[in-house]
């Protein structure tokens, strides 16, 4: 909370420094997106992938597994989902189920690489999962510029639009909010049960906080690595599927706007707790929307939202020390006294 407040305050200072009216900036960034029902539905739409990926990452982070490549897993979920949408016959009802599984599978497949390398060769999963983000981006670019390019797409790097049977149904008429939002809520509840109530949740906490203790307790390190990465991959893949089968309706070379990285911040700001992640996703989604509004009304680059997101994480990390330790006023020490 303090961190959010400080971020908003810094935001006002930034606006002032840029010569924009800070009050107007505040309104554009944090109030305009929420003025209408449609705005609110857009907020929830943007928060959906953030919460979904953040939840998956939180499981890994708790286990001491640093999956930084959610962006790539997100893209692979999108690629697998696009694959089934383009090549399989559409059957109402069944199609969506197949697609959900394809998305999850895609994300897991891409997360399997760092998991296997870490379990088998002890490679650093941070660097491997991150390198795979670049590879995934290039792979998507190859698909949409090459074999999957829409022949009637005027040479734009994008696939054909999906058939209606392959699109997630919207929840609110007139908005783009879709079934993925409901799925995300379910995932957050499952996440809560998994982390707070299950033996598995306890075992990953032990593994994350004290690997030595986990080894003595006979917990499998290998299982911990696979679970930590694959759960993150599954959630990211699901989010990727929901993006192409939801608001986009096709795969393009701009399939992700950095949800995978923003979700890392969401997981931390949410303190790796399902409820916190839900709230953090809303705040971060507001930053995304605010960035779009700032582009439109204040003529500022949209990347300002990433600046705010990064600031939020700094303040949170810095504020942690005040949560964990208490400030104590000590009398000034006199020289020579011990």
Partner 1 sequence: MTTELLGAILFAMIVAATPLMLVALGELVTEKAGMLNLGAEGLMAVGAVSAFIATHTTGSVTVGVLAGITAGVLLSCIFALVTIPLMANQVATGLAIAIFGVGLAAFIGKPFESSVIASTPAWNVPGLSEIPVLGKALFSHQPIVYLAWLATGIVIWVLARTRTGLVLKAVGESPAVGHAIGYPVNRIRALAVLFGGGMAGLGGAYLSVFYTPMWTEDMVAGRGWIALALVVFATWRPWRVVLGAHLFGGVLILQLFVQSSGLDLQVPAQLLSAMPYLATIVVLVLIAGNPKTIRIHSPASLGKPFRPDAH
Which CB atom, from 226 or from 268, has the smaller least distance to partner 1?
268
Closest approach, Cβ 257 to partner 1, in A, equals 12
**Burial (CB count within 10 angstroms: exposed 0-12, middle 13-18, buried 19+), residue 303:** exposed
Size of the site for partner 1 (CB under 8 A): 42
Residue 276: closest CA among 242, 238, 237, 323: 323
User: Residues 285 to 324: which contact partner 1 by CB under 8 A?
Assistant: 300-301, 303-307, 309-311, 313-314, 317-318, 320-321
Q: Contact between 139 and partner 1 (CB under 8 A)?
A: yes
Among 9, 138, 190, 323, binds partner 1 (CB under 8 A): 138
**CB of 5 closer than 8 Å to CB of 319:** no
Considering only the stretches 133-141, 192-200, 203-211, 276-284, report the one whose residues sit in contact with partner 1 under the rule CB under 8 A.
133-141
Binding mask 263-282 for partner 1 (x = CB under 8 A): -xx--x--------------
Q: Contact between 127 and partner 1 (CB under 8 A)?
A: yes
Report CA-CA distances (Å) from 22 to 10, 12, 147, 281, 298: 10, 5, 48, 24, 11
Three-class HEC string of 118-180:
HHHHCCCHHHHHHHHHHHHHHHHHHHHHCCCCCCCCCCCCECCCCCHHHCCCECCCCCCCEHH
Which CB atom, from 144 or from 168, has the smaller least distance to partner 1?
144
User: Residues 246 to 265: which contact partner 1 by CB under 8 A?
Assistant: 261-262, 264-265
Closest approach, Cβ 241 to partner 1, in A, equals 22
Residue 48's Cβ-side half-sphere holds a number of Cα atoms within 13 Å equal to 26
3-state secondary structure of 252: strand
Please report, as ranges, the residues that interact with partner 1 according to CB under 8 A: 66, 68, 117, 121-124, 126-128, 130-132, 134-135, 138-139, 141-142, 145-146, 261-262, 264-265, 268, 300-301, 303-307, 309-311, 313-314, 317-318, 320-321
């Amino acid at each position: 909370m303090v961190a959010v407040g400080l971020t908003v305050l810094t935001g006002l200072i930034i606006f002032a420094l840029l010569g924009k009216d800070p009050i107007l900036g505040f309104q554009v960034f944090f109030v305009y997106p929420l003025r209408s029902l449609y705005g609110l539905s857009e907020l929830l739409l943007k928060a959906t992938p953030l919460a979904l990926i953040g939840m998956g990452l939180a499981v890994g982070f708790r286990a001491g597994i640093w999956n930084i490549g959610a962006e790539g897993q997100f893209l692979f979920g999108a690629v697998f989902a696009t694959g089934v949408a383009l090549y399989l016959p559409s059957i109402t009802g069944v199609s969506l189920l197949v697609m959900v599984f394809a998305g999850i599978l895609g994300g897991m497949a891409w997360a399997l690489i760092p998991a296997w390398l870490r379990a088998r060769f002890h490679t650093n999963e941070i660097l491997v999962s991150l390198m795979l983000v670049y590879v995934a981006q290039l792979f998507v670019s190859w698909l949409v510029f090459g074999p999957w390019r829409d022949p009637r797409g005027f040479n734009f790097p994008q696939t054909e639009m999906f058939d209606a049977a392959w699109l997630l149904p919207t929840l609110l008429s007139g908005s783009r909010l879709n079934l993925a939002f409901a799925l995300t809520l379910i995932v957050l509840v499952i996440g809560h049960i998994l982390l707070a109530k299950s033996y598995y949740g306890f075992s990953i906490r032990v593994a994350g906080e004290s690997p030595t203790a986990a080894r003595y307790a006979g917990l499998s390190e290998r299982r911990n690595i696979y679970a930590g990465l694959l759960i993150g991959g599954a959630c990211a893949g699901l989010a990727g599927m929901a993006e192409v089968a939801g608001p986009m309706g096709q795969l393009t070379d701009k399939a992700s706007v950095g949800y995978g990285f923003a979700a890392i911040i969401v997981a931390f700001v949410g303190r790796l707790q399902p409820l916190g992640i839900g709230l953090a996703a809303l705040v971060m989604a507001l930053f995304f929307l605010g960035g779009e509004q700032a582009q439109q009304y204040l003529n500022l680059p949209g990347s300002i939202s990433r600046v705010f997101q990064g600031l939020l994480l700094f303040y949170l990390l810095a504020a942690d020390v005040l949560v964990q330790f208490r400030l104590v006023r000590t009398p000034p020490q006199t020289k020579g006294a011990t």
